[in-house]
Amino acid sequence: MKIKMGFAILVAGLLLSGCSGSKNVIYVDQLDLKQMESGWGQNHIGKSVDGNPLKIAGKTFERGIGTHAVSKFLVKIGGSAESFDGLVGIDDESSKPGTVEFMILGDRKVLWRSGIIKKGDIAKEVHVSLKGVDKMAMLVTDGGDDINYDHADWINARITYRDIAPTVTSLVQKEPYVLTPQNSKPRINGASIIGAKPHHDFIFRVPVSGKAPLKVVVSGLPTGLVFDAKNRSISGKAPASGVYEFTVNAENSEGSVSKKIAIRTDNGLSLTPPLGWNSWNCWGLSVDQNKVKAAADAMVSSGLADHGWTYINIDDGWEAAERTKDGVLLANEKFPDMKSLTDYIHSLGLRMGIYSSPGPKTCGGFQASYQNELSDARTWSKWGIDYVKYDWCSYGQIAKDQSLPELKKPYQLMRKMLNQVDRDIVFSLCQYGMGNVWEWGGEVGGNLWRTTGDITDSWNSMAGIGFAQSKSSSFAHPGNWNDPDMLVVGKVGWGPSLHPSHLTPDEQYTHISLWALLASPLLIGCDMTQMDPFTLNLLTNDEVLEINQDPLGKQAKQISNKDGIQIWTKPLSDGSLAVGIFNLGSDNGIETIRWDDQPNLQKVSLSATDLALTGKLKVRDAWRQSDIGEFDGSFEAQVPFHGVVLYRISPVK
C-alpha cells in the first residue's frame, strides 16, 4: 500500500512538472540582433566588433557576441524565463585603457552588474535569476573611460525559459513629431557675415525662404561681385582687404523683409561654422559622382539651401589607385569628371569639398597626399574645391611619435601648400582630438578640427561625444571651430545599405540642439534624396540655426549637471542667451534604456540667478518659434527623457 501510494505521488509530481513546462535554452545570438545597439561599429556573432575571433585574457571562445560600449539589447521574456547565464569581458583586440561594465537589467531594476572590467581581466561568469521578469536588458557601459577602446564580448550568453520563448523588442521610440511651424512670410536666413580672401573667387547663395514666388533683390555689392537672381547666388572676385556690407530684400504675397550681410576679406574664412553635407555617414566608400550630384540637387530642391546649407563634401573613396607619371592625383572611375562636377555644384550657388590624408593612404586605402602636398593643393584649386577634410589615417606610420610637434607637422605643411594657391579653401583637421587639438588647431591654420572619434547613430555615441565638449569651449571663435563630427539624423548607413537613424525623435532634437549650442560645424550625414518631413524639420528651423550661426562665435558651456539634467548656455551677439536643458536620465543604467513609450517628463526649474542674469526674463522657445512669456524670478520646463528644450532668453529692458 505504501509502495502504491509513493508511486501515485511520483506520477502526480511528474504530471505537475509536465504541466508547468519543460526547461528550454535559447542563446542570445539566436535572437534578432538587429535591435542590439553598439556604441561603435557593428555587432558580430562569433566574432569581435572588429571581426576577429572572440578572445578574452588570451583565451579564445567559439560562441558569443562581439559589441562595443555603450551597447544595449532589450528582450521580452514575459515572466517565463528562469535565468541568464554566460561569460563577459573585454576583447583582447581593445587598446588600453579599455574599461567597461556589464549589466543585466529587469523591469527597471539592476539584477546584476559586473563591476569595472579592464583589458586583460579573465572572463567573468554571469548567472542571474529572471523569475517573474517581463523585460530583460543587456547593457554594456563605458566604465567611465574613453569609449573608443571598449570592445566588449558576451560569451555563450543564453536564457533558460519555460513555455514562452524570449523575443526581441525594440528600444521603444516615440513617433516622429514636428515642432518647427510653417512660415509663408519671406525670411532671409543664414549667416550675417561671410569670410573671404582678397581677390579670390567668391560664391555665396543667398538663403531666402517663404511662399513662392519670391522676389529677391541684392544691392550695395562691392565692385567685382554680381548677383544672379535665377539661382540667388553672388559670384565674382572678392574685393580688397576690408569689410563690405550689402543689403538683401525679399518680397512675396505675404510681405517683405530686408537684411544686411557683411563680407569680410580681412579676417580669414569660415567666420561662422560650416553648414553642409558629407558623404561618409551615408555612403561610406560606395560614394560616386551621381550620388554627390543628387545630394546637391536635393539640397536645393528640398529647400535646405534656402536655410543656409552650403557645402557638398565628398569624403573618402573618390581617389584613383595611381597618380600620373608626373605625380598628379586623379579621381577614380566613379568620378569621371571632377572639374565638371564641381562646376555643376557651383552653378547651384553651392560649394564643393573633398577629402585626403597626410599619410600615404587614406582610411579606405586610397591614394593620399604624403609627399605630394603642393601638387594636390594645386589639383584641388584647379577643380574649384572650396573645402578640404584632412584625415590622419596612415600618417601614424610616418609620425615619429605622438609628440605635439609630430601631431602638428602634417597640418602645418598642408596649410602652407593651401596658402600657395589662389583659392579660398576651408581646412578641416581630422585627427580625433589627439594632443588636445583644440588648443593648437588654429595655430596650424585649421578652420575646424575634430575633437573626438567617429560618431554613430546611437544615443551613447552621440551623447558621449556631445556632452563631453566643455573642455574645448574656450578655443572656439570665428574662423576656428571645434568639430564633434557629423550629424546622424535621417537615413544613414556608412555604405550602400541605409537605415533610419537609431536615435529616437527626442534624441534627434537633442542632437541638433546640442550641436547648435556648441557652435559646431553642421554636416548632414544622411541621404538627402530620402529625407522625410521630420528630418527636414530638424534641419530647417531658422531660429535653431541662428544660434549655431551667431557671429559672436561663442561655444556653449555646461553650467549645471544634476540628477541627469544638464543645462548649457551660449552667449549671443544681441545680448541674449541660448539655453539648452537636456534630460539624460540617471547614470545607474536603468534609465539608459527606454522601457516603454511613456513620455517620462522631468520638471526643471530655472531662475535668472542660475543663468547669471538679473531681473525679469523674456523666454522664447526656439524649436516652436514662439514666446513662452516674461518671468520674474524663475520658470519651469518639462523635458522628455533623452530630450531637450531650447530657449533664447534675454533680460526685459
Residue type, 510: T
Instruction: Please confirm, yes or no, whether 454 is among the known catalytic residues.
Output: yes
Closest C-alpha to 297, from 367, 350, 254, 366: 350
Q: Per the structure block, which three cell numbers stand in for 508?
A: 534627434
Instruction: Please confirm, yes or no, whether 391 is among the known catalytic residues.
Output: yes
Triad 263, 346, 227: Cα angle to 5°: 50
**How far is Cα 317 from Cα 59, in angstroms, rounded to an integer?**
37
Identify the H or E element spanning 320: none
For 561, counting Cβ atoms within 10 Å of its Cβ (0-12 exposed, 13-18 middle, 19+ buried), the class is middle
5: three-class secondary structure by DSSP: helix
Closest C-alpha to 606, from 640, 638, 643, 572: 638
**How far is Cα 476 from Cα 447, in angstroms, rounded to an integer?**
10
Instruction: Tell me the longest C-alpha to C-alpha distance in the chain.
Output: 117
Strand-pairing partners, residue 524, are 277
Report DSSP letters for 336-380, one per residue.
S-HHHHHHHHHHTT-EEEEEE-SSSB-TTS-B--TT-HHHHHHHH
Among 91, 288, 315, 391, the active-site one is: 391
271: three-class secondary structure by DSSP: coil
**How far is Cα 28 from Cα 63, in angstroms, rounded to an integer?**
10
> Residue for cell digits 548632414?
524
Contact between 81 and 107 under an 8 Å Cβ cutoff? The reply is no
Phi, psi of 496 (to 5 degrees): -70, -25
Rounded alpha-carbon distances, angstroms, from residue 327 to 246, 264, 423: 43, 36, 21
Among 376, 454, 457, 542, the active-site one is: 454
Rounded alpha-carbon distances, angstroms, from residue 107 to 137, 163, 164, 588: 8, 20, 17, 14
Q: Per the structure block, which three cell numbers stand in for 567?
A: 543645462
275: three-class secondary structure by DSSP: strand
Contact between 274 and 522 under an 8 Å Cβ cutoff? The reply is yes
Contact between 496 and 286 under an 8 Å Cβ cutoff? The reply is yes
CB atoms within 10 A of CB 187: 18
Instruction: Indicate which residues carry an active-site annotation.
Output: 391, 454
